[in-house]
Amino acid sequence: MKVVFRLALAVYLLAIAFFAFRPFQPIHGRTYPDAAPATNGVVCAGAALEDMEGSRLLRESLAKTGRMSLEVLLKSDALGQGGPARVISLSLHTMCRNFTLGQDGNGLAFRLRTSETDGNGMYPSLLVPQVFDENRFQHFVVTYDGGLVQLFVDGVLHPQSVELQGDFSNWGKNHLLTVGDEPSGVRPWKGRVAHFSVYDRALESREVELLKAGGDVPGAVYSFPVPNAMRPLRYRNLFVNTDPFFNLGDCVANIVAFVPLAPLLCVVFLARLRKPVAVVAVPLVAGFLISGVIELLQRGIMGRVPCLADLAYNVLGTLIGCGLLWLGLKHRGVSAMMRTEQGDME
C-alpha cells in the first residue's frame, strides 16, 4: 500500500511541476536578437519592441484626462493569430494591463482598464470580427470618451462599439509599453507597424479622416516611431507584483492545488514524524519551500507570472490540508497511527 501512496505523491509533484512551468520556454534575454527591430519606421514581423520611458509618459498623461485614442497603421502577416496576439500593449503580463490592441483571428480586440473594470480590462472589452486584411496596410483608430469605446477602420466608424465608463485612476504604475508581444511573453504578433500615436482625448470623426488621408492632428502624447526610444523587447517576470490585481480563479486554483500535499506527505513519511506537531509542521514547511522554488524558477519561464500572492495562496492551501489532516489524525489517534506505521516499517 505504501508503494501506491509513494507513486501518488510522485505523480502529484510531477503534475504541480507541469502546470507551474508550462509552456517550458525559457527566457534567454532578448528574444529576437537576430531580427532587425525596425527598418524605416516599420516594425518587422516577430521583432517585439519596448519603450520604458514611453510607458511612464503614457500613464501620467492619460491618467490626467481619463480619455484616450490610439491610432495605428499596420499590416498583419497572418489571420490565424490569437490569444489575442498583442499588437500594442501597455501591460504587466497576460492578465494585467492598462490597455491592449490585439488581433484575434481576423478580429480586432481592444482591452482598456478603467476604474469600472477588472485589472485585465476584459469586462467589458471591444472585439470586432472580420476587420483584418493580411494583404494590405490598414488604418485603425480606437477612441474612448468616458462612456463609449469606438473603432474606426480606414477612416470609417465601425457600427460595433462597447459601453464603458470610468477613469484611469487605477492604472498600474509598473506596466511596460510594448509592440508585438507581452512583457512576459507567449502572445507574439506577426505583422508590421508603420506608425502609431496615442492621444489623451477621444478624436472626432473629421480628425480620424484627416489622419487616414495622411494629415496631421496635433496633440499626440506619444508617436511611434520614436528615434532611439524603443529597443528589442527583453522578456521579464516580476517576483514582487505590486499591481492591485486579483483573480479569483487563479487564487482558488493555487489554494486547491496544495491541499493534497500534507495528506500525501503524512501517509508516506508518517513513521518518521516522531512528534504529533511534526505532522503539521513538516508539510507546512515543505509547501512553503516547494512554492518558493516554483515562483523563483518561473522568473525564467516565458509566459509565467510569478508573484508573492501565489506563494501565499499555496501556503494557505497547504495549511488547509494540514488542518484537515490534523482533524483526521486526531479522530483516529495520532499516537496509535504512528505506532501502527512503525510496526509496519519494522
Q: Under the phi-then-psi rule, with left for phi > 0, alpha for psi from -120 to 50, and beta for the rest, what region is 214?
A: left
- Confidence (pTM): 0.66
- Distance in angstroms (rounded) separating the CA atoms of residues 144 and 131: 19
CB-side neighbour CA atoms (13 Å) of 146:
10
Q: How far apart, in whole angstroms, are the C-alpha atoms of residue 172 and residue 27? A: 24
pLDDT of 288 > 80? The answer is yes
Residue type, 35: A
Report the candidate in 214, 218, 179 with the shortest Cα–Cα distance to residue 200: 218
Question: Could you give the angle at the alpha carbon of 108 between the alpha carbons of 105 and 113, nearest 5°?
Answer: 125
| Residue found by looking up cell 510607458 in the block | 55
Q: For 190-242, how does the pLDDT look when each residue is reduced to its tens digit (9 = 90+)?
A: 888 888 999 999 999 999 999 999 899 999 999 987 656 677 776 655 544 44
Q: Which three cell numbers mark 235?
A: 522578456
- Stronger pLDDT, 249 or 78, i.e. the higher one: 78
Overall average pLDDT of the 40-62 stretch: 74
E strands within 188-286? 191-199, 220-224, 231-232
Q: Whole-number mean pLDDT of the chain?
A: 81
Residue appearing with cell numbers 503580463: 93
Residue 239 CA, chain-centre distance (Å), reads 13
Level-2 CATH architecture, domain 42-232: Sandwich (2.60)
pLDDT at 28 over 50: no
Cα–Cα distance measured from residue 41 to residue 194, given in angstroms and rounded to the nearest whole number:
6
At 269 the three-state DSSP class reads: helix
Phi and psi of 172, rounded to 5°?
-70, 140
pLDDT of residue 330: 73
Q: What mean pLDDT is predicted for residues 95-124? A: 92
CA 253 – CA 262 distance, rounded (Å): 17
What pLDDT, in 10s, does the model give residues 231-267? 777 665 554 444 445 567 778 888 999 999 988 888 7
Give residue-wise pLDDT tens across range 159-185.
Answer: 999 999 999 999 988 888 988 888 877
H or E element at residue 286: helix 276-298
Give 338's Cβ-side CA count (13 Å radius). 13
C-alpha cell at 165: 465608463
Highest mean pLDDT among 45-49, 132-136, 301-305, 336-340 belongs to: 132-136
